[in-house]
Amino acid sequence: MLWLLIWTFTVYTIFLLPTMFFFSEGSAYSSVPSAIKSDYLDTYLGNLGYSSVQCATIPSAIHRLSLACPYGKIGEILDYGVNPLPENKNVCIADDTNAVCKPDADFVKGALDVSIGEANHLFDYLGKELYKDTTGKDVCDTKDSTLFVQFSCIQAPADQQQKYSQVAIAVATGVLICLLFTVSIRAMYQGGKITQIEWDVTTVTAGDFAVEFTIFKDKYLEWKDNVYEAAGGPMETKRQAPAHALKI
């Protein structure tokens, strides 16, 4: 049985080699530092790449913001704005706390839309104002204020189609392995029953010299009334339990 399991899982491993090859062709984890990168990371499903939503932030006084996708290309600019409060520097959505600092200059949206379709893009507004009217916007351009841009990263349709085909093969292989494993376990179970029968046939046990027969209830009650409990009968003086007396 042990050798059957060893050879069975060896076959399963061979079946999975194409899947691991597919995963290793990806490059989603190529930017992970080798010091913390697992030796098996490139054979994981995530290495095929993925779509994601990213948030880029920078102190607004720097006047330059780099937009970059860890995988894929920029698909859509979802939101942007300036957080005037330092405690909100990690907020990446326009809300009541930063509504007054929403950039509305004509060039902003166009400069951000240019990044769509690129893997990375530098949004440079050096020497430009983010607002049409800077009146009351002093709080929006301080050493504590931060500019944020929320954007999506998507894969190209050709890459998605290729990944779909590869994952479909991986899933089909997994289903096949589950089916074969079920069959092998069933075969081992049936083989074990046959082995038990063969052992019983070749081994002498007490059961080989025993005879089993059924005693019906009415026959037992008849014996109990007419023999076991009969006055002056053979069981009256022996003081034996019914079960023991019945056997002898």
Which CATH number do you get for residue 96?
Answer: 2.60.120
Most confident of 40-44, 190-194, 203-207: 40-44
Percent of the chain whose predicted confidence (pLDDT) is above 90: 25
Q: Domain check: are 139 and 77 in the same one?
A: yes
Whether the pLDDT of residue 1 is over 70: the answer is no
pLDDT of residue 197 exceeding 80: no
38 lies in the same domain as 15? yes
Same domain, 29 and 101: no
Same domain assignment for residues 28 and 64: no
| Residues spanned by the domain of 24 | 1-49+170-205
59 and 150 in a single domain? The answer is yes
pLDDT at 221 over 80: yes
Based on the fold, state whether residues 139 and 192 are members of the same structural domain.
Answer: no
The C-alpha atoms of residue 240 and residue 228 are separated, in whole angstroms, by 9
Q: Can you tell me the mean pLDDT for 10-25?
A: 85
The pTM assigned to this predicted structure is: 0.58
Say which amino acid occupies 56. A
Burial class (CB in 10 A: 0-12, 13-18, 19+), 82: buried
The two structure tokens encoding residue 143: 């050493």
Please, what is the angle between helix 157-202 and helix 2-24, to 10°? 180
Lowest mean pLDDT among 92-106, 169-183, 201-215: 201-215
Strand order across the 73-83 sheet: 52-59, 146-154, 73-83
- Looking at the structure, do residues 89 and 45 belong to the same domain, yes or no? no
Is 94 within a domain? Answer: yes
Rounded Cα gap, residues 79 and 64, in angstroms: 17
76 and 93 together in one domain: yes
Number of domains in the chain: 3
Residues in Cβ contact with 93 at an 8 Å cutoff, skipping those fewer than 6 apart: 79, 81, 150
List the single range of 59-63, 94-98, 142-146, 235-239 with lowest mean pLDDT.
235-239
| CA of residue 204 relative to chain centroid, distance | 53
Residues 130-182: pLDDT tens digits?
Answer: 988 888 788 888 888 999 999 999 988 888 888 888 889 889 999 999 998 88
In a shared domain, residues 128 and 223 = no
Do both 25 and 60 map to the same domain?
no
- 77 plus 138 within the same structural domain: yes
Amino acid at site 213: F
